[in-house]
A and B are shown apart, each in its own frame.
Chain A
Amino acid sequence: MRGMTLIVKTITRLIVGLIFLYGIYIVFHGHLTPGGGFAGGIIIAGAFILLVLAEGSEELSTEVKKWRASLFESLGIFIFWLLAILGLFTGSVFFLNLLPKGKEYHLFSAGIIPLCNIGIGLEVAAAIFAIFITFAVLKLGGKE
């Protein structure tokens, strides 16, 4: 797929970092404000997708990216699974909220929920990006 015009490319390079940072903010503050893992992950994926759309997929080596996106997706869910299993190892129930719950409205509070949000954010971002890359490099032809 061809890239876009020079104006779009310039603005994209300026804005992509800010979109990424905004996505990370939504993931981290998931226990205080609306959002959390899913919404923040999709915004992070949006930053990468914008980059691919603006620069064009011919210049990217999409094979490497597909492999890494799959790896990060599995890693994200694996982190979430480790946090859930941690409760079983310390002798009590599955999914226990182990870490200390600090004061309200602070960033480091509510036990394992921020860490779970990070795992989910990583996973959703990698998954949406992998789906997009798969569709972007598929060439729609006629009968094979």
Chain B
Amino acid sequence: MIYYLLCMLLFVIGLYGVLVKRNLIKIIIGLVLMEYATFLFLALVGYKKGGTAPIITKGFEKAVFVDPLPQALVLTAIVIGLATTALVVSIAVRIYQRYGTFDVKEIRRLKE
């Protein structure tokens, strides 16, 4: 139970980074932190007491395995997160080329 609360704490720290920080790169780091907290939470949901890694090798066919389904989900989600991060970082680099700054308060050409 304590581990789930720690994952939520990491999620909230990431959310704080996205909401409060003014540098574009720090916002991106907050975003990545939020995503990885979710992945940790999802992988921890599948834990069973005394379980081992869910891979059948010779001589280990009958052990207690942890749930492999969340691990497969987390693998897929990590790759999705990688693609998202690559796209947002390239947009941030192009913004720096156009505006000359990484500060969110200066990047405000679209008015109300």
A–B: direct contact at CB < 8 Å: yes
Q: Is A140 an interface residue (CB 8 A)?
A: yes
Residues of B within 8 A of A124 (CB): 79
B90 contacts across to A, CB distance below 8 A:
131, 134-135
Q: Which residues of A contact B53 (CB under 8 A)?
A: 34
Residues of B within 8 A of A141 (CB): 97
B interface footprint on A108-144 (CB within 8 Å = 1, 0 otherwise) = 0000000000000000100000010011001011111
Contact B98 A33, beta carbon cutoff 8 Å: no
Least Cβ distance of B19 to chain A in Å?
Answer: 27
Q: How far is the CA of A134 from the CA of B93 in the complex (A)?
A: 11
Residue B6 at the A interface, CB < 8 A?
no
Shortest distance between the CB of B7 and any CB in chain A (Å):
22
The residues of A with any CB-CB pair to B shorter than 8 Å are 33-34, 38, 104-105, 124, 131, 134-135, 138, 140-144
Across the A-B interface, give the 3 residue pairs with the lowest CB-CB distance, nearest first. Answer: A143-B100, A142-B100, A131-B86
